[in-house]
Every structure is written in C-alpha cells, then in structure tokens.
Amino acid sequence: MRILAIIPAYNEEECLEDTVSSLKAACPDVDYLVVNDGSSDSTEDVCISCGLNHMRLPINCGLATAFQAGMKYAFRHDYDAAVQFDADGQHLPEYILPMAQALDDQDADIVIASRVLAGEKISGARGAGSKLISLLIHLTGGVRLTDPTSGMRMYGRKTIETFSKGHDLTPEPDTVALLARKGATVVEVPAHMQERQGGESYLDLSHVIRYMARTCCSILFFQWFR
C-alpha cells in the first residue's frame, strides 16, 4: 500500500522539522507532503533548508484548501491511502500503519485515530461537543464514532478521488457524516496523541464553541443540500 501523509502547515516553524523527522524515522516507507499554507513565519525556510517535500500556497487559504491540495497530489500520484497528519507534533506516526491495516482488513474508506478507544478522556466544552457530534453522526450517517473530532484520519483510494474532485469537502466531522450517509465505511483504531510541541493553537474556548456549533449545524442542516 502506497501511503501519503499530508501535513498542512501554517506558521509551524518551531515544530515542522521534528514532526517530519519523527515521521520518517517511524515510517520510512510512508511518503509525505508538507503543504505550506501561506505561512508568515519561517515555515518556508524550514522546508527549503531541510529539503522537505512540500508545496507552497501563495496566501493563507485555511486547513480545508491546504488539505484538498494534498489530496489532489495524492490522487494524481496514484496513492492507495492518504493520512491527515498535524505539523505541530500532536499526531504520533506509529499509528499510521495500524490505520492502514484497518483500512485494508475492514475494506474501509475512512479510518479515524481515536483517543477515546485508547483510554483518553476528552473533557470540558470539547468533550461535550464531541459527544454531541458523535450522536449527530450516528443519527444522520448511521455510524457510531467515539472520537469524531480527531484530526488524524486516513482515507482510502475512493475517498481520495472524492476529495480531489469535490469543492465543498473539508477534513472535518461534517464531511465524515456526509460520506457515511452516502455509503462510506468509517472505522476507528485506538491511538494516543500528545500536546502541541511548539507554537500556539488558535483553539481557545470561544473558537472551540464556534467550531462545535458550526459543525453541528452542518451535520443537521447543510449536508442535506450537498
């Protein structure tokens, strides 16, 4: 199985080199593509000085556009699977191969790395929102998920093509719900994650609440028109 790790990066100069190094060390047979999403810091300099396989978007377009650019690359280069992999060091590369195994063994279209299945608890507003999103995905897509907001997801060949040709798909739970409703097989594998290894996250409490509200509205209402 040819696997591509798509690494969207926006202002990740502090983490990017170590993230790619750990990925290459743990999974030498997995290819990677850094998508520099119009960073205003030295992310591009890190990519060039370290000789990283990367593409540079001229302006900051956001996670959805950066990820879709990576999926177009995966489709055009005929990869069997693509995994969404954070540049900030939160995702652990040792779970990529178990995800690929689940993709193959269960004939899945999407595999999600679940912190909950690994015994971790998601607390506070994020935990409450995650449970609500899980319920809505079950009601609309018929699949039970324990960690729908996990950002580490692997997509199979058919789903790569869907992302590469679509214009309204984001690497978010509402898209998982949409694809499940349309017949995609979604499974989870247990996986631990670690804290951001540098830089600052934009996900403060207000952003988390807005994200959860927007995601729930999309699952409940907007996906029916897509």
> Tokens 């097989």 appear where?
185
> What CA–CA distance (Å, rounded) separates 171 from 44?
23
Which structural domain range is residue 109 located in?
3-225
Encode the chain (226 residues) as per-residue pLDDT tens digits: 999 999 999 999 999 999 999 999 999 999 999 999 999 999 999 999 999 999 999 999 999 999 999 999 999 999 999 999 999 999 999 999 999 999 999 999 999 999 999 999 888 878 888 999 999 999 998 999 999 999 999 999 999 999 999 888 999 999 999 999 999 999 999 999 998 666 555 555 677 788 888 888 888 887 776 6
Mark 183-201 as b/e (b = at least 16 C-beta within 10 Å): ebbbbbbbbebeebbebee
| Cut 0.75: pTM above it | yes
Residue 51, domain CATH: 3.90.550.10
User: Per residue in 54-82, pLDDT tens?
Assistant: 999 999 999 999 999 999 999 999 999 99
For the chain, what is the domain count? 1
* Partners of 187 in the β-ladder: 111
User: Per residue in 144-154, pLDDT tens?
Assistant: 999 999 999 99
Please check whether residue 118 is in contact with residue 190, taking contact to mean a CB–CB distance below 8 angstroms. Answer: yes
> What CA–CA distance (Å, rounded) separates 224 from 56?
34
How far, in Å, are 83, 98, 157 from residue 74 at the CA level?
10, 20, 9
